[in-house]
Amino acid sequence: MRVSADMPVTARDTKRFPRDHRLLCSADYTGVFEDNAFRKSSRQLLLLARHNELAHPRLGLVVAKRHVNKAVDRNRMKRLIRESFRINQHRLVGVDIVVLVRPGLAQQSNQVVFDSLMAIWDWLEKELCKCAR
């Protein structure tokens, strides 16, 4: 189906994960690592975030081979994090986010990982609301 400018925006269109919603170059990652305004840590995830000048959030992932040995597990972690972000991105406006995976996350079920991410997105949304005041 071809999309035109006069077509209505559906819920599906607002929950995409296009290229401009990703941190792509090392400078983007370095900016978040060096100047993070938000930091949330759990046993198996670390979230770093900072404000950006855009009207949408951007996500970067760090899933180290030494923390998650098998490629299939690394890909599963990345897929779960991207999907969770895609669903919740409307709540996280104007922020660059890097999620680092720590050892042990690959042994968790998909539901446990998804619940951990939901708790992190909830926390980040509250922090962003505090800063907006």
- Domain housing 59: 20-132
Domain count along the chain: 1
1 assigned to some structural domain: no
pTM above threshold 0.85: no
pLDDT 10s digits, 77-87: 999 999 999 99
72 assigned to some structural domain: yes
107 assigned to some structural domain: yes
d(CA 100, CA 92): 18
pLDDT 10s digits, 33-57: 998 889 999 888 999 999 988 888 9
52 assigned to some structural domain: yes
Secondary structure E strands in 15-129: 38-41, 45-51, 58-62, 95-101
- Output the domain CATH number for residue 28: 3.30.230.10
76 assigned to some structural domain: yes
13 assigned to some structural domain: no
